Amino acid sequence: MPPDEGLTASDWPPSRPVMGYNTWYQFRTGITEAVVIRQAELLVSSGLAAAGYRCVNLDDGWMAAERAPSGELAGDPGKFPRGMAWLAGQVHALGLRFGLYTAIGTRTCQNLPASWDHYDQDAATFASWGVDFVKVDDCGGLPPGTTAAALTGHFREFGACLRRHNPDVVYSQELPIHQIGKPSFLPAVRASARFAHMWRVAHDENPLDSASPMILSHLSAVLPLHSFAGPGHWNDLDMVAPKYPASGWTLADLRSQLSVWAMEASPLLISADIGALPPDALAALKNPHMIALDQSGAQCSTMTASGPVTALMKPDPAGGTAVLFVNLGTGTGTGRFPLAQLGITSARASGRDVWTGATAAFDGEASVTLEEGQTALVQVTEA
Residues near ligand GLA (CB under 6 A) are 24, 59-60, 101, 108-110, 137, 174, 204
Nearer to ligand GLA, 179 or 327 (CB): 179
Chain-centroid distance of CA 183 in Å reads 24
Minimal distance in Å, beta carbon 140 to ligand GLA?
10
Minimal distance in Å, beta carbon 275 to ligand GLA?
22
Beta strands in the chain (DSSP E): 19-22, 55-57, 97-103, 133-137, 170-173, 198-200, 234-236, 268-270, 302-306, 309-315, 321-327, 333-338, 348-353, 359-363, 365-370, 375-382
Nearer to ligand GLA, 29 or 367 (CB): 29
Nearer to ligand GLA, 175 or 366 (CB): 175
Minimal distance in Å, beta carbon 383 to ligand GLA?
44
Four-residue CA torsion sign, 31, 207, 20, 282? positive
Minimal distance in Å, beta carbon 294 to ligand GLA?
19
Nearer to ligand GLA, 20 or 333 (CB): 20
Residue nearest to ligand GLA (CB): 109
DSSP-based three-state secondary structure for 132: coil
Minimal distance in Å, beta carbon 85 to ligand GLA?
22
Cα–Cα distance, 258 to 255 (Å, whole number):
5
Nearer to ligand GLA, 28 or 194 (CB): 28
Nearer to ligand GLA, 273 or 316 (CB): 273
Taking alpha carbons only, the member of 102, 5, 98, 14 closest to residue 60 is 102
Judge contact between 235 and 272, C-beta under 8 A.
Answer: no
Minimal distance in Å, beta carbon 109 to ligand GLA?
3
b/e burial code for range 145-169 (CB count within 10 A of at least 16 → b): eeebeebbebbbebbebbbebbeeb
Computed over its alpha carbons, how large is the radius of gyration of the chain? 21
Judge contact between 365 and 338, C-beta under 8 A.
Answer: yes
